Amino acid sequence: MNENDKSEDLSQESPEGEISWSFCPRCGEKLPKVKKIKYCTNCGLDFEYLREHKEIPPSEYEFEPGYYPEESYETYYSQEQVKIEEDQIEEARNTKLWSTFTSILLPLGAFIAMNAFLIVAVLGVIFLIGSLNLDFLMDLMSSPWFLIISSLAEYLFIIIPIVFVGRYLKKPTWNNRFKLLGFSIDKFDQKGLMKEISLGLAFGIGGIFIVAITSTITELILEIAFGINIVQESTSTGEVDIYITGATFLELIFLSLIMILVVGPSEEIIFRGFMQRGLINNLGKTTGIIITALIFGSIHLLGIFMVLLISPIEFLINFIYLFFPYLSISLLLGYLCYWREGNLIAVTILHGVYNAFTVVLAFLAYNAPMSGIIIFISLISVIMAVCFFLYYFLEKS
């Protein structure tokens, strides 16, 4: 192709204003059939300049060869988000959807939002009573009814991840959103559902014994290390102790129901369904479970940081004494969730039952003789054994 041929080709335009070249007027490379092509894929010739000025541009207007295909095709399609079909949700739970950063940040953001909501609610109460009456405020916040009502704010732990995951679904119905997070019974028949319930009950009771053993070992280590009696000399910071001391039987019932119907489902959806699932898919099983357990346990201990202002040593003792029991139940929740392939039915029951029975045990410790506590522990031990046997029977039948 000589220079005269090139000059003639520069004026060849389609009826729509497109220059209808099949080959680059500079290097002769065959051009892809792309509407309004910008650059030659071989020599980098600027076709936008060519269309406007009807001449080959000087060298300072040109781009390096290969610039055009990197920008147009591969990058565009790799960034396009593919929506999950309804029948692919179960398989999609094992794929990377949200990042490690999102897996951690969103639950922490939900935790901050929940506490901000509670602070605003308390400030609203102060505004309504017309003055900052500290005695009234302390009585209010130490009442079992405060824990019962404020626990409803944990529904934010459900709402926030449920809203977020809708972006990944082709049909973002509520059922599909819950299913993507593992909170669904759709894949279970009656026998399968009974197995999950049995496991949840059994491990919920078993968790009480695991935490008790962990607490005893931690207590012995601390007593040897610091030479003190942990129970007598450390500050009581347990959430349950504060609210159960003067609770009535009716308040005990409501507290137990809140643990099963609100706290268990909400915390499992955001921590195991969202955080752990995202971390496992990005970092692997062990790392994902451990990081989730560490964050979950630490969040439950924020209250003891008040002790740091009084005595750093007291804070250290309390933190160690409470952290490892929380870590043990967190790891139990995490590994059970992984064993059940990300489904949250068993792990939600475990969490709710563990919390509810912990409330009952604390109530008995303050309001019943030792014989009553022994009877209760014996009863739940029998229930645990029956549930494990039922699961084994259903698994083998």
SS (H, E, C) the chain: CCHHHHHHHCCCECCCCCECCCECCCCCCECCCCCCCCECCCCCCEHHHHHHHCCCCCHHHCCCCCHHHHHHHHHHHHHCCCCECHHHHHHHCCCCCCCHHHHHHHHHHHHHHHHHHHHHHHHHHHHHHCCCCHHHHHHHHCCHHHHHHHHHHHHHHHHHHHHHHHHHECCCCHHHHHHHCCCCCCCCCHHHHHHHHHHHHHHHHHHHHHHHHHHHHHHHHHHHHHCCCHHHHCCCCCHHHHHHCCCCHHHHHHHHHHHHHHHHHHHHHHHHHHHHHHHHHHHCHHHHHHHHHHHHHHHCCHHHHHHHHCCHHHHHHHHHHHHHHHHHHHHHHHHHHHHCCCCCHHHHHHHHHHHHHHHHHHHHHHHCCHHHHHHHHHHHHHHHHHHHHHHHHHHHC
pLDDT above 90: percentage of residues in the chain = 49
| Segment 141-163, tens digit of pLDDT | 778 888 888 899 999 999 999 99
Alpha carbon 394 to its chain's center: 31
pTM over 0.85, yes/no = no
Contact present, 260 and 360 (Cβ < 8 Å): no
CA distances, 61 to each of 35, 38, 40, 247, 379 (Å): 21, 12, 13, 80, 84
> What was the pLDDT predicted at 230?
65
Of 145, 183, 144, nearest in space to 162 by CA: 183
The CA angle 220-297-290, to the nearest 5 degrees, is 100
Give dist(CA 174, CA 180) in Å, integer: 10
Lowest mean pLDDT segment, chosen from 115-129, 234-248, 331-345, 365-379: 234-248
> Between the ranges 49-63, 153-167, 240-254, where is the mean pLDDT highest?
153-167
Average pLDDT over residues 65-73: 44
Task: Give the angle 140-117-333 at the CA atoms, nearest 5°.
Answer: 90
pLDDT value at residue 15: 47
Distance of CA 379 to the CA centre of its chain: 34
According to the model, what pLDDT value does residue 49 have? Answer: 75
Mean pLDDT value of segment 348-360: 96
Looking at every residue in the chain, the average pLDDT score rounds to 83
Mean pLDDT, residues 122-142 taken together: 74
262 contacts 155 by C-beta, under 8 angstroms: yes
Tens-place pLDDT, residues 376-385: 999 999 999 9
Return the amino acid letter for 293: A
Band (pLDDT 50/70/90 cuts) for residue 79 is very low
280 close to 289: Cβ distance less than 8 angstroms: yes
Residue whose C-alpha is closest to residue 296's, from 263, 342, 339: 263
Listed by start position, the domains of the chain span: 3-79, 95-396
First to last CA, the chain: 81
Residue at 11: amino acid letter: S
